[in-house]
Amino acid sequence: MAVAEGVVDRLVYVGADGYTVAVLTTGERSETKIGGTVLHGLQPGETVRVGGEWSKSGTLRVDECERILPATVHAIRRYLGSGLVRGIGRKLADAIVDTFGADTLDVIDREPKRLLEVHQIGRERLAKIISAWADQRAVREVMVFLQGVGVSPALAVRIHRKLGEQSLHVVRNEPYRLVEEVWGIGFATADTIALAAGIPEQSPERMQAAVLHTLQTARSMGGHCFLPVVEVLTHTTAMVEQDEELIRAALHALRRRKKVVQERIGSRDVVFSAHLHQQETMLADNVMRLLGTPSSLPGKPKLDSPELDDTQRQALRMALTNTVSILTGGPGCGKSFTVRHIARTAKSVGAKVTLAAPTGRAARRLSELTGMPAMTVHRMLGRNAEPEDEDGGLFDVHDPMQADLIVVDESSMLDVGLADALVDKIPAGAHLLLVGDVDQLPSVGPGSVLRDLLDVPDIPRTHLSRVYRQGDGSGITANAVSVREGIVPVNNPEFWFVPAEDAKDIAETVVDIATRRLPAAYGIEPGKVQVLCPGRAREVGALHIGRLLQDVLNPHREGDPQYWSDDRAFRVGDRVMPVRNNYDKGRNGVFNGTAGTVTGLSLEDRLLEITLEDGEAVEYDFDELEELAHGYAITVHRSQGSEYPYVVVPLSTSAGMLLLRRNLLYTAITRAKKMVVLVGQPRALRMAVEQTGDRRNTALTWRFIGEDLAAAVLPPLRDNNGQVAAF
């Protein structure tokens, strides 16, 4: 076995499977290229000892990798100057190493106050360095442990950021806590750590973590709020390969711990995670509260308008005479036009009107279409905003909303949690109008709020069906209607299907159309084209196609900084979007699905600056980059509420039957304003048109109408065994 030791100079490539190619500096000028999956998580500046076999191309294929503290002056200088120790950049690293030489790390570790001997270091910077060094040491300890049990050491930073000084204790003694407390770590990873650490296969902790994982998977993959007890038992028992009685005992223990709630819905015993149960029941209670309260709308608005057709006038009367109502309709049917008249009519009698949508792009689009200000629901729920602050929210956590009419567009995107937070703050007597297209995909988060409320007979609703939009985009609208009705769309000047069979050919054709053909044909920038994928994984998924697009549109240039986080390279100019709400960033938080661009990248400070679509610049530490996704190709789910001039969609049966659904294709088509191009297999297109989506497991409607009426209104829960399939 060949052995090499040196400093990681730079990362060349990181694959989706973790395979990493890096350049190792083994002397002042000598470089060695190394590659292997065991290198996953390496960062420039680290010193490693690796072992493996040489390939014919001269790359050392690594089977063993050990992270070690740097020993030579060159290695120490590179380590400190890499930004791995916060507070020390390249120039300061040179000054420290020039002062202490080969003893530098011993000085920082044992006599840190001696750093004051370095001219550029004062007491404030010294405190930062001491704290950062302690963090780095703690992270290294967790890394060593994780590597020893066969888990990627790259997770150590994420664990330490959440658990701090408890990190090593938790991974050694309570690894299943990671599932609940560290975002992005699932049961499989925690289970690998636990079993390697000697925790018994039949331990109560393992069984309880497995039950929670079953519920979490059903929530994240299927949008379900609950699962029947029988499904929890079946899936969890199969996953851990243990006796069902152990799972029953775990379920009982979780009920005692108030982690889950068991409830009888109709004729079924079902299980909720505790927080979803609370959100769903509170949402139902608050909608009932609003429904049961007389309107407090000031004055008597004129409930007629010659500019509206009969159905639109019906919507106007409905919204201004009922405290809760729903307006639905497909593309081009005048929903925004009707909302504008409803809002203006309410304002004419002195009512305070607020327009909102779940995402920034949807809010801006609503504002453009209505000619009135609109904001995101999250911003409206801003925790620190004063009511009189025009740029802030309408209420904070302590004060109710100060509005007479609240209109929420794109309401199909409201999950249970966001809808609960919204309705909880609306005062009695105010009017809530939910506007949306129920044929689109449901929310990314759990629940089917809009569909469920439409099934409540007591909630007034108006459906607009007449299509008004003609001219630009009318071919898109026509095909969207066809898909909604189960008819395969046909080519027209604004809609094209490009056949391709092989997954690789589909991906390459999508990239060529998005970066070359459409821009050349219409004289547009490639940034006007958005690729929407049914899913994230596989060769036609958003991750792979996104990397291909990044390499064409924003390739790495020698000398420009880039940073690898897992298998993703971040560069200045990249399109990105947050995939997790972070209330501590920006003026009012940063929210899932907001579009942004990387405008700054500092390797020394380990910071990425992104400028969001509203112009606000926020910073992400390199340790937080799992909260960001690249935006070159995104899933159709993440496109909800947005519109793009040109949309390209890959379609392949390799995406899986669960993704090729009518509501997904319909949503993708309705995101485009000027042109839609579908690329893929004709049978995949037919499959997407023919397959309707399964209903999510929710009890919101049931909480309004009871089991007798629910049985007549709602479809039964089912799978091949007569039970609900979890995912």
Rounded CA separation 34/32 (Å): 6
Q: For 540-582, what is each residue's pLDDT tens digit?
A: 999 999 999 999 999 999 889 899 888 899 999 999 998 877 8
Residue 438 and residue 320 share a domain? yes
- Residue 169: domain span: 148-266
**Bridge partners, residue 462, by sequence:** 327
Q: b/e map of 435-452 (b: 16 or more CB within 10 Å)?
A: bbbbbbbbbbbbbbbbbb
φ and ψ of 109, to 5 deg: -75, -40
**SS3 per-residue string spanning 229-263:** HHHHHHHHHHHHCCCHHHHHHHHHHHHHCCCEEEE
Is 288 inside any structural domain?
no
Residue 590 and residue 511 share a domain? yes
Query: What's the half-sphere exposure (Cβ side, CA atoms, 13 Å) at 125?
Result: 15
Rounded CA separation 566/162 (Å): 18
**Bridge partners, residue 4, by sequence:** 50
Residue 483 and residue 448 share a domain? no
Is 444 inside any structural domain?
yes
Q: For 668-688, what is each residue's pLDDT tens digit?
A: 999 999 999 999 999 999 999
CATH number, domain of 27, equals 2.40.50.1010
State CA 606 to chain mean position distance: 22
Residue 481 and residue 571 share a domain? yes
Is 305 inside any structural domain?
yes
Q: Which one of 442-446, 460-464, 718-722 scores highest in mean pLDDT?
A: 460-464
Residue 500 and residue 407 share a domain? no
Is 704 inside any structural domain?
no
pLDDT grade, residue 715 (50/70/90)? low
606 touches 622 (CB < 8 A): yes
Specify binding-site residues for ATP.
332-336
Specify binding-site residues.
332-336
CATH number, domain of 366, equals 3.40.50.300
φ and ψ of 618, to 5 deg: -130, 155
Residues 6+ apart with CB under 8 A from 561: 571, 572, 601, 602, 603
Residue 541 and residue 635 share a domain? yes
Is 179 inside any structural domain?
yes
Q: For 238-297, what is each residue's pLDDT tens digit?
A: 999 999 999 999 999 999 999 999 999 878 899 999 999 999 999 999 999 999 999 999
Residue 223 and residue 97 share a domain? no
Residue 550 and residue 672 share a domain? yes
Residue 335 and residue 254 share a domain? no
Q: For 22-72, what is each residue's pLDDT tens digit?
A: 999 886 668 899 999 888 888 888 898 999 999 988 899 999 888 888 888
The residue type found at 41 is G
Query: Quick check: 722 pLDDT over 70?
Result: no
Q: For 160-181, what is each residue's pLDDT tens digit?
A: 888 888 899 999 999 999 988 8
Query: Quick check: 442 pLDDT over 50?
Result: yes
Q: For 601-647, what is each residue's pLDDT tens digit?
A: 988 788 999 999 888 999 998 888 888 999 999 999 888 888 899 99
Residue 669 and residue 571 share a domain? yes
Q: Supply the pTM of this predicted model.
A: 0.82
Rounded CA separation 296/453 (Å): 22
Place of tokens 């070359």: 516
429: left (phi over 0), alpha (psi -120 to 50) or beta: left
* Burial (CB count within 10 angstroms: exposed 0-12, middle 13-18, buried 19+), residue 183: exposed
pLDDT for position 390 = 36
Is 712 inside any structural domain?
no
Is 560 inside any structural domain?
yes
Residue 260 and residue 300 share a domain? no
